[in-house]
Structure 1
Amino acid sequence: MATVRLAAIKALNGSSRLRNLSCSLNHRCKALSIRAFSAAMSPPSKAVVYDLHGPPDTVTRIIERPPVELKENDVCVKMLAAPINPSDINRIEGVYPVRPQVPAVGGYEGVGEVYSMGSSVKGLSPGDWVIPLPTSSGTWQTYIVKEQSAWHKINKDTPLEYAATVTVNPLTALRMLEDFVNLNSGDAIVQNGATSIVGQCIIQLARIRGIHSVNIIRDRAGSDEVKEKLKKLGADVVYTESQLEVKNVKGLLANIPEPALGFNCVGGNSASLVLKFLRQGGTMVTYGGMAKKPITVSTSSFIFKDLSLRGFWLQKWMNSDKAEECRSMVDYLLDLVREGKLKYEMELSPFNEFHTALDKALGKLGSQPKQIIQF
C-alpha cells in the first residue's frame, strides 16, 4: 500500500513538473510574441502638424509622433524630401476644397525610401525609392506607414528634388496638354503664369511635341532676364502683360499660328489676355487663380469665336479611374528629368529649418524658388 502511495506521489510530482514546464514555455512564447510585435513597428517620427486652420506660419508646429504598427501589407517609408506647394498652404488655411481633418500632418507629395515592410509585401526591398501615388496627405514627417498599394517604386537615379515634386506640377502640365484639344506638331498654345513650375513644364513638354508656346508673365523688375530663361527652356515668345495692351495682340504672333489651347492660372485681366490670343473655336483651361479675381469673357468671344472655357483639378482626375494610368505617366516624366529634358528651379532646405522654408514659400522673403524640405 505504501508503494502505491509513493508511486502516486511521484506521478503527481512529474505532472507538476510538466505543468511548470508548460507554463514556462507559454511564458516564453508570449515574450517572443511581444518582441515580434515590437519589431513590426515604425520608428518614432517627427512631423509638421496643425491643430486648426489658419495662417500656416502660426498654426504649424513640429512634434514627435509615436511608432506605428505595421500590418502584413504595410510599408514603412523613411521620407527623404517633400515640397511646400501652394495647395499645401491652402489646406492649412482651410480654403482648399478637399483637406484632411485636423489635427493633421502637412504635405501632399514627396519621396522616401523603404525602411521596413509587413510579411506579405512583395516587390519592394529596404532602400528602394518610392513616392505616394495617388498623392495623399501627411508627407511632412520623417516616417510614414501605408499599404503597399499606396506607394510607387521609382528609379533611384532620379534627382531627389524632382522625385519629390513630380506628381503635382509636371503631371498637371502633361494632362492639360493631352486632355482637352488634339494638338499636332506645328500647333500653338498660349498661357499666363509662365514662370510657375506648371508653366515651365508646359513650355518644355510642348517643345518636345513640336508645339509652339506663347507665354505671358507679369510686369516686374528683371523681366528681360525672366524672358531669356523661359526661351532657353523652349518658349517661342514671352510677353509681359503691359506689352499686350494693344488692339490686336495676334499681330505679335509673327510666324506662330493662332493658339488652339490656352492655360490660365491667374484670372482677372491676365485670363482675358489668354482669351484674346485663341483662335476660332479655341479652348481655355483654368487650373488656378493666383490673382483671386474672376474671369471676364466678352459676349463676342462666345458668339463669334465660339470659345470654350474648361477647368482642370488634378486631384479629381487622380481619384477617377486614371490612378493606375498615372504611374506610367510619372515614370515618363522622370525619364525626361534624367535625360535633361525637363527641369525647373527648386531649393532644398533642411527639415530643422522648416519655418524659414515656409516663410519663403509664403513670399515673406521675396521671390524664392520652390521650397523642398529635406529630411
Structure 2
Amino acid sequence: MWFSVHTVCLRRQILRKRGFVGTFLKCNGHRDANVSPFSVSAGRYEQTCRALVYRNHGDPSRVVQLEDVPLPPTGAKDVLVKLLAAPINPSDINMIQGTYAILPNLPAVGGNEGVAQVVEVGSQVKSLRKGDWVIPRDAGLGTWRTEAVLAEDDVISLPKDIPLLAAATLGVNPCTAFRMLSDFKDLKSGDSVIQNAANSGVGQAVIQIAAARGINTINVIRGRSDFAQLCKRLKAAGATHVIKEETLRQPEMKDLFKTCPKPKLALNGVGGKCATELLRHLQVGGSMVTYGGMSKQPVTVPVSALIFKDLEIRGFWVTQWKRDHAHDGRAFIAMMDELCSLIRQGKLTAPACTEVPLEEYQRALDAAMQPFTSSKQVLMM
C-alpha cells in the first residue's frame, strides 16, 4: 500500500521541540512554558527559510509578518521538507487571534495544514524517502513557510498521483466531513443529511463524500447576490438540494421532503438560529453535530426537540479525533485510503481555491476573513 506510515507508530510528539517547530501544542490547550525556539541565536544555523510569523495575538493582517527564520540541521530522525502549498483555514485565523482552543508558544509560524515534499532524510528515518509528499499528522507544525525540519513521526506520507491542491487541503476539512458522516449515524444509501455552511470547505467535502455513498444532502447557505451561481456549483459537486437559510422556516420544506426522507443527521458549522432550524427538520431520534460556530452565537435547543423527538446534540473536533486515535492508526489509515481513492476517481476534489504567492500573504489573509467567501485562500510556496 502507498501509505508508508503503516510501518510508523502514530504516536504524536506534541510536546517535543524540534528546531523552529515553535508551534507544538499541549493537549490541554495551555501554552508550553518553555522558551520558544525563536529565541535561539540564528548564528547556530547555516540555512534560513521564509515564514509567516506572529509574535503577538491579534488581527492577522497586523500581527503576521514575513520573516527569514533559521533552519536547524536535519537530525537522524528528522526530514527536511519544502512546503508546496498551505491553505488558510478559519482555525488558523482563530489561533492567530488567540481565540482557538489550543494556542502555540509565541512567536509562532502560522498554518496548520498543507503539503510538503521531502528533500532530505535523516540517517535513522525509515518510512520516508526523498521526493515523498507529506502532510502534518496533527495541528501546530506551522505550515506557512518555505521549508521546515520536522520529526519523522510528525508527518504522514501521501501519494503523489493526486492533485496538489487536493493534497494541501486534505488533512482538515475532508477528514472532518468523513468522520461526521461515518461516526454519528448509520447512514445508508438513500438516507438524508442536512447541513448549514454548505459552501465551506467542510460543507463541500460533505456534499461529495455523501454523494459517493448515495446519501442525499440538503445544503443551507446564506442568501447572497451570487446564490444562483453558487447553487449551480454545489449541485454540480453532488448536492441534492441547495436552499437559503430563510427557506428553513417556510412551507416549501414540506415539498422538499416529498423527494427525499427527513434527515437522520444535521451538521452545524454556524450556530445560532440556523442551528435551531436544522433541528426542526430532523427525524425522530436524529442527531445534530456541531463542528463550528461562524455566527458566534450559542446553539439553542428547544425542549420539545429533546422530549418529543429524542434528538441527540453532539460536538466534533477533528484535532481531538486524531489525538484520540494516535496510538492505533487503523481508523486513520482507512480514512486516508478512502479519501485518496475518492480523489483518484474524481469523486472528491479540492474546494474552490484561490492560489496566492506567499509574498502576497496580506491579500490572502484579508480575503480569508471576508464574509460570504466561497474560495479558500491557498499560499503557494
| TM-score relative to the length of structure 2 | 0.84
Query: Partner residue of 2:373?
Result: 367
Paired with 2:252 and 2:129, the residues of 1 have a C-alpha distance of 60
Query: Partner residue of 2:62?
Result: 58
Paired with 1:63 and 1:327, the residues of 2 have a C-alpha distance of 36
Query: Partner residue of 1:238?
Result: 242
Contact 2:52–2:67 at 8 Å: present in 1 too?
A: yes
The answer to whether structure 1 residue 349 and structure 2 residue 356 are counterparts is yes
Paired with 2:373 and 2:318, the residues of 1 have a C-alpha distance of 25
Paired with 1:127 and 1:217, the residues of 2 have a C-alpha distance of 41
Paired with 2:258 and 2:164, the residues of 1 have a C-alpha distance of 40
Contact 2:352–2:374 at 8 Å: present in 1 too?
A: no
Partner deviation per Cα, 1:304-344 (whole Å, 9 max, x = no partner)? 11111000011111111256232442232122223211122
Query: Partner residue of 1:298?
Result: 302
Query: Partner residue of 1:138?
Result: 142
Distance apart, 1:247 and its partner CA:
5.3
The amino acid that maps onto 1:331 is D
Contact 1:361–1:368 at 8 Å: present in 2 too?
A: no
1:246-285 matched pairs, under 5 angstroms? 246=250, 249-285=253-289
Paired with 1:280 and 1:274, the residues of 2 have a C-alpha distance of 13
The answer to whether structure 1 residue 200 and structure 2 residue 204 are counterparts is yes
Contact 2:54–2:63 at 8 Å: present in 1 too?
A: yes
Moved more, 303-312 or 147-156: 147-156
1:159-174 matched pairs, under 5 angstroms? 159-174=163-178
Partner deviation per Cα, 1:216-243 (whole Å, 9 max, x = no partner)? 1111112122212111111111111122
Q: Secondary structure at the match of 2:341?
A: helix
The amino acid that maps onto 1:204 is Q
Paired with 1:342 and 1:264, the residues of 2 have a C-alpha distance of 21
Distance apart, 1:291 and its partner CA:
0.7
The equivalent position to 1:340 in structure 2, one of 342, 346, 357, is: 346
Greater CA radius of gyration, 1 or 2? 1
Contact 1:262–1:284 at 8 Å: present in 2 too?
A: yes
Query: Partner residue of 2:36?
Result: none
Contact 2:71–2:149 at 8 Å: present in 1 too?
A: no
Q: Secondary structure at the match of 1:166?
A: coil
Q: Secondary structure at the match of 2:71?
A: coil
The amino acid that maps onto 1:61 is Q
Paired with 2:96 and 2:360, the residues of 1 have a C-alpha distance of 19
Paired with 1:252 and 1:113, the residues of 2 have a C-alpha distance of 47
Contact 2:78–2:149 at 8 Å: present in 1 too?
A: yes
Paired with 1:88 and 1:158, the residues of 2 have a C-alpha distance of 24
The equivalent position to 1:47 in structure 2, one of 45, 51, 56, is: 51
1:119-134 matched pairs, under 5 angstroms? 119-134=123-138
Higher helix share: 1
Judged with a 3 Å threshold, the aligned counterparts in structure 2 of structure 1 residues 225 and 172 are, in CA distance, closer, same or farther, namely: same
The answer to whether structure 1 residue 158 and structure 2 residue 162 are counterparts is yes
Paired with 2:217 and 2:354, the residues of 1 have a C-alpha distance of 26
Judged with a 3 Å threshold, the aligned counterparts in structure 2 of structure 1 residues 143 and 327 are, in CA distance, closer, same or farther, namely: farther
The answer to whether structure 1 residue 176 and structure 2 residue 180 are counterparts is yes
The equivalent position to 1:190 in structure 2, one of 189, 194, 211, is: 194
Paired with 2:165 and 2:139, the residues of 1 have a C-alpha distance of 16
Partner deviation per Cα, 1:6-51 (whole Å, 9 max, x = no partner)? xxxxxxxxxxxxxxxxxxxxxxxxxxxxxxxxxxx78311111111
Distance apart, 1:282 and its partner CA:
0.6
Judged with a 3 Å threshold, the aligned counterparts in structure 2 of structure 1 residues 248 and 363 are, in CA distance, closer, same or farther, namely: closer
Distance apart, 1:93 and its partner CA:
0.1
Paired with 2:252 and 2:236, the residues of 1 have a C-alpha distance of 27
Q: Secondary structure at the match of 2:378?
A: strand
Contact 2:325–2:332 at 8 Å: present in 1 too?
A: no
Moved more, 246-255 or 126-135: 246-255
Paired with 1:154 and 1:294, the residues of 2 have a C-alpha distance of 38
The amino acid that maps onto 1:45 is C
Query: Partner residue of 2:115?
Result: 111
Query: Partner residue of 1:358?
Result: 365
Paired with 2:46 and 2:111, the residues of 1 have a C-alpha distance of 19
Higher relative CO (Cα under 8 Å, sequence separation at least 6) belongs to 2
Structure 2: unaligned runs, 5 residues or longer: 1-44
The amino acid that maps onto 2:336 is V
Partner deviation per Cα, 1:88-107 (whole Å, 9 max, x = no partner)? 00000000010111111100
Partner deviation per Cα, 1:32-82 (whole Å, 9 max, x = no partner)? xxxxxxxxx783111111111000000010111113022211111111111
Runs of 4+ in structure 1 over 6 Å off: none
RMSD value over aligned CA atoms?
1.8
